[in-house]
Structure 1
Amino acid sequence: MSAAIRAEIRKILTTRLWWALLLAMVAAVAVLAGSLALATALGGQAAGDELAVPPDQLALTVYSAGVTLGYVFPVAFGAIVVTQEFRHRTFQTSVLAEPRRTRVAVAKLVATVPFALAYGVASSAAALAAGAPALALAGDGAMLDDPATWRTLGLGAVAMAAWMLVGVGFGTLVTNQVAVIVGLIMWTQIVEPLVRIALGYWDAAAPVARFLPGAAGEAVAGTSFYSATGLSDLLPAWAGLLVLLGYGLVAAAIGWRTSFRHDIT
């Protein structure tokens, strides 16, 4: 098993994609965190104190920018780890070297864990590096002496890491790389935000929004732009993590029973 895991890690490291997506994520999260801090703080000041977001809540919202909007990068990378084998037709070689496909699938998941942690830490670091100066510049303070800030940053890293593992699950389910990447981008960036906004205006269905994957990821961090603005409630952190990983587990189980066990030519 260890040999299979090392082989999967080498497959990831031999391409530039892992660090290219990592840098893109860091840049995106930094821009999002800095822009959100300045726009919200300065906009609230201009509109009047009664409309301003409390400084502590604003800081937590800024530091969770990656979990709210930047998670498309780790989930896409997780899917690519699996689907690149099918796109470049190297899956045949992998199963010839290790005929037990269960080991191949598990090795891919385990090999992704260190990269998932790296993406999670980098996301929180980017949000902190860009968000703290922006908050200080806006006059509300970076809230770095508040334990809740560091809790949000730490749990935000966990949430981003979990998103990459979810991506592995969906890559196992939909082995067509273009289809799964386009589908994930459409869902995370367009469909789910619109669904959550719509459900927020329908009292009877509003609780359902908490169980959507994006909301589950935000629940791990404990806050988000949606919850801060009152558009969506969140589950407890532990429940959010279970729901989020559950999506990946269900997708992986279905993919294992279907595409991963098909005959290959």
Structure 2
Amino acid sequence: MRNQLSAELLKARSGAAFPALLLVSLLLAAVGQLGAVYAENGLAAPGAAADTTHRVLNMAGSSALFAGLFGAVLVTAEFRSGAIGRTVLHAPSRSTVVTAKLATATAAGLVFGLLAVAAALGVGALALSARDSALVLDGRGWRVAAAAVAVCGFAGLWGAAVGWVVRHQLVAVVGLLVWGTVGQLMVLGRLPEAGRFLPEGAQHALLGDRLTFPDALPAPAGALVLAVWCAVLALVGRQLFLRRDV
């Protein structure tokens, strides 16, 4: 298992997908974070700087979409190139391949989250400084930062699980993009009682984002919902991979 995991980690950091998706995610998040700071009026008011800091850190969670895309690409790239046959041939078992890729995608998602939070702190500090204010890193701020990292970790796992189920790279990537940007948002807006149990609703819950989604579950319940979604999809993907030809 250790050798297989090392091989998957090497694949993850060798290609262009990881740095490209990471860069795009950080740039898009930075635009939103700058907008959040400069749209705020009255930063001198009590609690205003803290609230702005929380919003800036919350936007680090937007990297979850790109962490999920990377997880899907990590898996489906081998089906696209045909390398999955060689991977299975040299691995102890198919289950080992699935587990190693899921673990690698989760680790990559956590890296997305950590770097997104670090970038959010940098962007927020510079933008607030330009407005004669400063970041306020209170207990809630650190909880939001930790939640953003966790959400990205879950997203990496979720994306890899989708890859195992779908296998076709274009379908997996487009599906994640459409569902993550339009599909779930439509459900959250029109059917919030159901949407709170979808991954997107659970992410809002874990981030404590009541402003965007007032009907979100409590944060612990959101984490549980995300874990269940990831576990179920990973199990389905594993079973399909064990039964399908490569």
Q: 1:106 aligns with which of 99, 109, 119?
A: 99
> Residue 233 of structure 2 aligns with which residue?
251
Aligned length: 243
Quote the sequence identity (%).
Answer: 31
Q: 1:212 aligns with which of 198, 202, 216?
A: 198
- Say whether the 8 Å CA contact 1:72–1:185 is kept in structure 2: yes
> Residue 6 of structure 2 aligns with which residue?
6
Render the CA deviation track for 1:172-213: whole Å, top value 9, x for unaligned: 1111010010000001111111221223xxxxxx33222121
- Say whether the 8 Å CA contact 2:103–2:157 is kept in structure 1: no
Aligned counterparts, 1:230-245, within 5 A: 231-245=213-227
TM-score, length of structure 2 as denominator length: 0.89
1:161 is aligned to 2:147: no
Mapped to 2, the partners of 1:99 and 1:121 lie a distance apart of 32
> Residue 150 of structure 1 aligns with which residue?
142
1:57 is aligned to 2:43: no
Mapped to 1, the partners of 2:14 and 2:129 lie a distance apart of 41
Mapped to 2, the partners of 1:193 and 1:211 lie a distance apart of 13
Q: Which structure 1 segments of 5+ residues have no match? A: 200-205
Aligned counterparts, 1:27-46, within 5 A: 27-39=27-39, 41-42=40-41
- Say whether the 8 Å CA contact 2:196–2:217 is kept in structure 1: yes
Mapped to 2, the partners of 1:94 and 1:38 lie a distance apart of 49
CA gap of 1:131–1:172, structure 2 versus 1, over 3 A, is same
Render the CA deviation track for 1:113-152: whole Å, top value 9, x for unaligned: 43222111011112222223334545665323x2211221
- Say whether the 8 Å CA contact 1:30–1:129 is kept in structure 2: no
Q: Which amino acid aligns with 2:51?
A: Q
Q: Which amino acid aligns with 1:61?
A: R
- Say whether the 8 Å CA contact 1:159–1:218 is kept in structure 2: no
Mapped to 1, the partners of 2:132 and 2:211 lie a distance apart of 19
- Say whether the 8 Å CA contact 1:124–1:156 is kept in structure 2: yes
1:228 is aligned to 2:211: yes
Render the CA deviation track for 1:232-254: whole Å, top value 9, x for unaligned: 32222222122112222222222
Mapped to 1, the partners of 2:128 and 2:185 lie a distance apart of 25
The structural deviation recorded for 1:55 is 4.9
Q: Answer with 95-104 or 181-190: which moved more.
A: 95-104
CA gap of 1:256–1:194, structure 2 versus 1, over 3 A, is same
Mapped to 1, the partners of 2:177 and 2:104 lie a distance apart of 23
The structural deviation recorded for 1:60 is 1.5
Aligned counterparts, 1:11-26, within 5 A: 11-26=11-26
TM-score, length of structure 1 as denominator length: 0.83
Aligned-CA RMSD value: 2.2
